[in-house]
């Protein structure tokens, strides 16, 4: 293929590459704008891409960091099962969500893969993966902390054809419709994914018609080589050595925990090796993740310290190696529950970050909330009786940096171009009244530079028979400080009953609430950087004026007295 590509001039390759990248953006927009799940259109919990015939990513549009390593694996699964058996045709679409192989993460994340043919030859694939709000299972919304095996978590699709030669597999669609709580939403999401694939397929075919197969394949290959070159050049400049860290996951949602996890990052001239050996074995609750997701998080950190600003492609990961024995909390095997897999996956990312942060101050901040801090609230509309369901990630504090305070009220690094749900929309749609959405001053995050403040979000329950679930990490082990900076504050969910009694939770589900009860989500303040005694007193006074710290903290931690007037 390389020899063939030699006939294609440099500028034509550039032009095709630009078209491939534009195609990724276009598929992304279509899926976002037509999806029915808030997790897709608002949280952007999805990714789209195109691969070459070997399943290597050549263009990708993603809204969150977590899906980096998963699209190519989904395509490779399809290649192994269908392409190699000669069983994949034009206009076929394959659906898969197995967590343990392919591009799976948890059953809610559905991947769709479509081959792109030029005459009788597959020249590439288009693929997307999105979090459907419903795939059935034991709890509404399908994401649960109650499961003890995968069979409780919803519909499980082991790489099956959704569409054959352009004809939808109606039996499969009917099975989906019958097994999910919000069928219009799930089927709507399915169509959004299908139309994004078909648009991508059409665009890639148009490129081949315009420039010829040889030129398009050459452009794909050179794009992968480009990614590798950029990553290797950056790798060469990094400090070499082995960097280690460890931390704890609070709980698994079933009353077990904490669980220790570890990593060692070895950077050599041509490799970036992430070794998670020694991490806790798989746990009974649903916070386990699989190897694919572990690798995906390692890719995100690798990107952050090498090539954060170039378009994603498979070539850039060639120097990366991810090691972890099977059967751990990071490399769970069937039938381990994985419904809230993102909590361990985020922790994998966070301990890599923690190992490297002191050595890469120009790229990495101190520890952040490191959790989606998700809560789920369900109920029925008192007038229409319709089922409603709030589920989502929430914002918290980011860690301080070597010369700057941390960001306040941002989604954790596992999210990205994720949007919070406006209060005015929350109140119109769900049976809660929002009473506060504001920064808090819980203790933590002190330093020469302060961690960003976490947030209080108060929901007053306005309907009856409302249920609460929470999957809040960093509840017992706060975000970490760097270089003498203090750790951040803790995340938690507090229920304040009408009678004034209070309950505090980290990971919990099926808490019954009544009208008038208050749910308070408190998300962590990020870790500090540097000795608090070194903080400029002017900054402390500004913090005080702005109410980011209390007078007591100013005095006791920073030694600054409040000034009159």
Partner 1 sequence: MIRVATDIGGTFTDIVYYEHDEVTDTVSQVASWKCDTVPEDLTSGVMTAIDGVGLSPSEIEFFAHGTTVVINTIAERKGAKAGLITTTGFRDVLEIARGNRPDLFNFRFRKPPPFVPRYLRREVEERTNHQGEVVCPLDADALSELVAFFQGEGVEALAVSFLHAYANPANEVAALEALGRLWPEVPVVASHQTTREWREYERTNTAVLSAYVSPVADRYLSTLESRLRADGMNRPPYIMQSNGGVTTVGDARRNPIAILESGPASGVLGAAALAQAIGRPDVIALDIGGTTAKCSLIEGGKPAITTDYHVEANRENPGYPVKTPVIDIVEIGTGGGSIAWIDEGGRLFVGPRSAGANPGPVVYGRGGVEPTVTDAHVLTGRIDGGNVLGREGGGDVEAARRAYAELGATVGVTAEEMAHGVLRIADVNMENALKLVSINRGHDPREFALVAYGGGGPLHGATLATALNVPEVIIPANAAVFSAWGMLQTDLRRDYIQTGTARLDDADPSRLEGAIEALEAEARDGFSAEGMDGGRHVVERAADMRYRGQEHTVKVSLPGGPVDEPAIAGWIERFRDAHDRLYRIRLDVPVELVNFHLTAYRIIAKPPIVARAIETAPVEDARIGRRRVDFGEAGMHEVPVYERSRLRPGMELEGPAIAEERGAVVLVWPGQRAEIDGFDNFIIRTGE
Show contacts with partner 1 in window 29-88 (CB under 8 A).
29-30, 32-36, 38, 41-42, 62, 64-65
Instruction: Confirm or reject binding of residue 297 to partner 1 (CB under 8 A).
Output: no
Instruction: Confirm or reject binding of residue 15 to partner 1 (CB under 8 A).
Output: yes
- Give CA–CA dist 22/394, Å, rounded: 30
Nearer residue to partner 1 within complex by CB, 26 or 54: 26
Q: Shortest distance, CB of residue 133 to partner 1, whole angstroms?
A: 10
Q: Which residue shows structure tokens 């206009």? A: 91
Q: Give the angle subtended at the CA of 130 by the CAs of 133 and 256, to the nearest 5°.
A: 65
Contact in structure between 85 and 108 (CB atoms under 8 Å): no
Nearer residue to partner 1 within complex by CB, 184 or 552: 184
Q: Give the angle subtended at the CA of 548 by the CAs of 529 and 355, to the nearest 5°.
A: 20
Q: Rounded to whole angstroms, what are the CA distances from 412 to 192, 253, 417, 510?
A: 26, 20, 11, 25
Instruction: Confirm or reject binding of residue 551 to partner 1 (CB under 8 A).
Output: no
Nearer residue to partner 1 within complex by CB, 188 or 337: 188
- Give CA–CA dist 102/105, Å, rounded: 9
**Interface with partner 1 in residues 457-476 (CB under 8 A):** 458
Contact in structure between 527 and 369 (CB atoms under 8 Å): no
Q: Shortest distance, CB of residue 97 to partner 1, whole angstroms?
A: 21
Q: Which residue shows structure tokens 């900076």? A: 485
Q: Please report, in angstroms and rounded to a whole number, the separation of the first and last CA atoms in the chain.
A: 75
Q: What are residue 263's DSSP bridge partners?
A: 245
**Interface with partner 1 in residues 199-218 (CB under 8 A):** 199
Strand (E) positions, 292-429?
Answer: 320-323, 374-380, 387-392
Q: Are strands 272-275 and 320-323 parallel, antiparallel or unpaired?
A: parallel
Nearer residue to partner 1 within complex by CB, 13 or 73: 13
Instruction: Confirm or reject binding of residue 388 to partner 1 (CB under 8 A).
Output: no
Among 55, 136, 188, 379, binds partner 1 (CB under 8 A): 188
Instruction: Confirm or reject binding of residue 326 to partner 1 (CB under 8 A).
Output: no
Among 455, 470, 482, 519, binds partner 1 (CB under 8 A): 455
Nearer residue to partner 1 within complex by CB, 273 or 310: 310
> Segment contacting partner 1 (CB under 8 A): 108-116, 304-312, 479-487, 532-540?
304-312
**Interface with partner 1 in residues 479-538 (CB under 8 A):** none
Q: Rounded to whole angstroms, what are the CA distances from 422 to 38, 112, 374?
A: 12, 30, 16
Nearer residue to partner 1 within complex by CB, 438 or 533: 438
Q: Shortest distance, CB of residue 399 to partner 1, whole angstroms?
A: 9
Burial of 214: CB neighbours in 10 Å, binned 0-12, 13-18, 19+: middle
Among 283, 300, 355, 519, binds partner 1 (CB under 8 A): 300
What's 215's DSSP letter? H
Count of C-beta atoms within a 10 Å radius of residue 523: 32
Instruction: Confirm or reject binding of residue 304 to partner 1 (CB under 8 A).
Output: yes
Instruction: Confirm or reject binding of residue 416 to partner 1 (CB under 8 A).
Output: yes
Q: Shortest distance, CB of residue 460 to partner 1, whole angstroms?
A: 11
Helix/strand number for the chain, H first, E second = 12, 20
Q: Shortest distance, CB of residue 291 to partner 1, whole angstroms?
A: 21
Structure tokens, 369: 């909330």
Instruction: Confirm or reject binding of residue 177 to partner 1 (CB under 8 A).
Output: no
Nearer residue to partner 1 within complex by CB, 439 or 477: 439
Nearer residue to partner 1 within complex by CB, 33 or 497: 33
**Interface with partner 1 in residues 420-439 (CB under 8 A):** 420, 422-425, 427-428, 433-439
**Interface with partner 1 in residues 224-243 (CB under 8 A):** 226-227, 229-230, 233
- Give CA–CA dist 562/555, Å, rounded: 8
CA dihedral 146, 148, 154, 155 (to 10 degrees): 170
Smallest Cα–Cα separation from 409: which of 477, 456, 344, 471? 456
Nearer residue to partner 1 within complex by CB, 202 or 240: 202
Nearer residue to partner 1 within complex by CB, 54 or 427: 427
Instruction: Confirm or reject binding of residue 413 to partner 1 (CB under 8 A).
Output: yes
Among 71, 75, 332, 395, binds partner 1 (CB under 8 A): 395
């Amino acid at each position: 293929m390389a020899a063939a590509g030699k006939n294609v001039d440099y500028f034509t390759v550039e032009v095709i590459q630009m078209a491939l990248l534009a195609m990724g953006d276009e598929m992304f927009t279509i899926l976002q704008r037509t999806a029915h799940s808030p997790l897709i259109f608002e949280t952007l919990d999805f990714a789209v891409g195109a691969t070459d015939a070997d399943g290597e990513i050549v263009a990708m549009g993603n809204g969150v960091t977590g899906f980096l390593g998963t699209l190519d694996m989904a395509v490779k699964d399809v290649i192994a099962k269908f392409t190699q058996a000669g069983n994949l045709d034009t206009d076929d679409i394959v659906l898969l969500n197995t967590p343990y192989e392919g591009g799976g993460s948890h059953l809610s994340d559905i991947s769709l893969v479509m081959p792109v043919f030029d005459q009788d030859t597959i020249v590439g694939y288009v693929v997307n993966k999105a979090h459907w709000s419903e795939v059935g299972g034991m709890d509404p919304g399908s994401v649960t902390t109650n499961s003890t095996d995968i069979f409780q978590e919803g519909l499980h699709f082991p790489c099956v054809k959704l569409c054959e030669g352009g004809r939808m597999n109606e039996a499969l669609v009917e099975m989906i419709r019958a097994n999910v709580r919000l069928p219009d939403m799930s089927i709507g999401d399915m169509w959004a994914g299908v139309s994004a694939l078909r648009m991508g397929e059409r665009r890639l075919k148009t490129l081949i018609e315009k420039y010829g197969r040889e030129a398009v394949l050459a452009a794909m290959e050179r794009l992968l080589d480009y990614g590798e070159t950029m990553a290797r050049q950056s790798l060469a400049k990094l400090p070499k050595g082995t960097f280690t860290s460890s931390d704890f996951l609070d709980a698994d949602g079933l009353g077990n925990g904490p669980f220790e996890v570890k990593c060692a990052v070895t950077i050599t001239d041509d490799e970036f090796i992430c070794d998670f050996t020694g991490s806790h074995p798989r746990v009974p609750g649903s916070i386990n993740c699989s190897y694919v997701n572990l690798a995906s998080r390692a890719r995100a950190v690798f990107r952050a310290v090498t090539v954060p600003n170039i378009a994603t492609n498979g070539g850039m990961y060639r120097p990366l190696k991810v090691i972890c024995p099977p059967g751990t909390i990071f490399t769970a095997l069937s039938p381990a529950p994985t419904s809230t897999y993102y909590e361990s996956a985020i922790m994998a990312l966070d301990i890599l970050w923690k190992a490297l942060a002191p050595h890469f101050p120009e790229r990495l901040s101190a520890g952040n909330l490191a959790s989606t801090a998700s809560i789920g609230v369900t109920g029925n509309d008192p007038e229409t009786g319709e089922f409603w369901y709030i589920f989502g990630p929430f914002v918290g504090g980011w860690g301080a940096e070597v010369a700057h305070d941390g960001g306040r009220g941002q989604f954790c690094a596992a999210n990205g171009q994720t949007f919070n749900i406006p209060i005015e929309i929350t109140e119109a749609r769900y049976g809660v009244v929002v009473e506060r959405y504001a920064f808090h001053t819980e203790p933590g995050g002190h330093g020469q530079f302060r961690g960003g403040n976490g947030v209080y979000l108060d929901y007053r329950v306005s309907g009856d028979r409302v249920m609460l679930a929470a999957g809040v990490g960093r509840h017992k082990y706060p975000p970490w400080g760097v270089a003498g900076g203090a750790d951040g504050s803790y995340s938690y969910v507090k229920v304040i009953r009408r009678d004034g009694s209070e309950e505090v939770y980290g990971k919990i589900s099926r808490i019954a609430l009544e009208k008038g009860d208050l749910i308070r989500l408190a998300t962590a303040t990020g870790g500090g950087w540097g000795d608090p005694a070194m903080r400029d007193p002017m900054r402390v006074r500004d913090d005080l004026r702005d109410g980011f710290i209390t007078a007591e903290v100013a005095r006791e931690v920073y030694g600054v007295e409040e000034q009159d007037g």
